[in-house]
Amino acid sequence: MSKGFVSGMVLLTLGLVCGLLLATINSFTAPKILETENKVKYDAIAEFYNLADYTIEEVKVEGSLVDTLYLLTNNTTSSLDSIVYSVKQYGYQSDIKMLIAINGDYTVRGYKVVEQAETPGYGSKSVGYDFGMDGQSITNIDAFDAIAGATYSSNAVKACFEAVFARVATDFGGGN
């Protein structure tokens, strides 16, 4: 047999073994990773709402900054009371992923940055930062308060709010 054929077979065997090992490890870790991600999301939503009062429907969205809607239907009235948007935009060096909760009266109930890898001391301040949007109407983006010295990160967060505000009326069943 030629050296090329033997080398190819060795590489093929190594690739198959490594692929099998990775698939096996993934089968054990993927459920735990998903569980942890869901806990972070639902813990964040629980900061805005008492989850026992609502039935939550998760709806995936494609083609925009918004990737998931969490529709909160009141268990007592069976009405859609709120929508929590999972939205992300690229900041200075990473995606900034956040949840933005909107009430049925089109006001911001709350928001939280749930994932970011921005520059420490600058863009990383987006976690826990008060952007001045709590209680604001979806028509009042002028209330947005940026982080000093973190223009790209602030613009990413502002773009997240704008993406939500652009679609919220339609998502609640009304027009723009």
- Asked if residue 102 and residue 52 are part of one domain, the reply reads yes
Which domain range does residue 87 map to? Answer: 47-171
Q: How many domains does the chain have?
A: 2
- Asked if residue 53 and residue 122 are part of one domain, the reply reads yes
- What's the half-sphere exposure (Cβ side, CA atoms, 13 Å) at 109? 21
Q: Which residues pair with 85 in a beta bridge?
A: 69, 100
pLDDT in tens, 31-84: 887 787 778 788 888 888 988 899 999 999 987 899 999 999 999 999 999 999
- Asked if residue 69 and residue 124 are part of one domain, the reply reads yes
Residue 176 within a domain: no
pLDDT in tens, 91-105: 999 999 999 999 999
**70 phi and psi, to 5 degrees?**
-115, 105
Query: 74: Cβ–Cβ under 8 A, 6 or more apart, which residues?
Result: 53, 54, 80, 81
- Asked if residue 140 and residue 84 are part of one domain, the reply reads yes
Token couple for 74: 């009141």
CA angle 94, 97, 101 (to 5 degrees): 160
Q: What is the pLDDT of residue 118?
A: 85
pTM of the model: 0.78
